[in-house]
Amino acid sequence: MFEETIQIIHESIKQLVFQNPFYSEMSSNIEVTVRSSGYQILLAGVEKGKSYLDISVSRNLDGAIIIGIYPEELYEECKEANIPIVQ
């Protein structure tokens, strides 16, 4: 059985998730909520200069939750790839 997948995108996984309790708790709560709806979660850090599409399209994502502030190009890439986002 394949499950839908939503990716949580952080600017820096190490800094935000593992060193800041706010982001780790928020990510955990997001995971509990989306799993109850039959989705799986992937955590991803997007490094500066890397394309988000390289990460998301290869994983055939059903959606993305974007945490942080990113260049407008990131949001445009999601639209072009038909990836629903929450920011």
What is the mean pLDDT of each successive set of 10 residues along the chain, which is 87 residues long? 74 66 85 91 71 66 80 80 83
The partner residues of 41 in beta bridges, in order of sequence, read: 6
pLDDT confidence of residue 80: 83
Q: How many residues does the chain have?
A: 87
Q: Which domains are delineated in the chain? A: 4-86 (3.40.50.2300)
Dist CA 7 CA 41 (whole Å): 6
10, 41 contact by CB (below 8 A): no
Cα–Cα distance for residue pair 48/41, rounded to 1 Å? 22
pLDDT at 32: 93
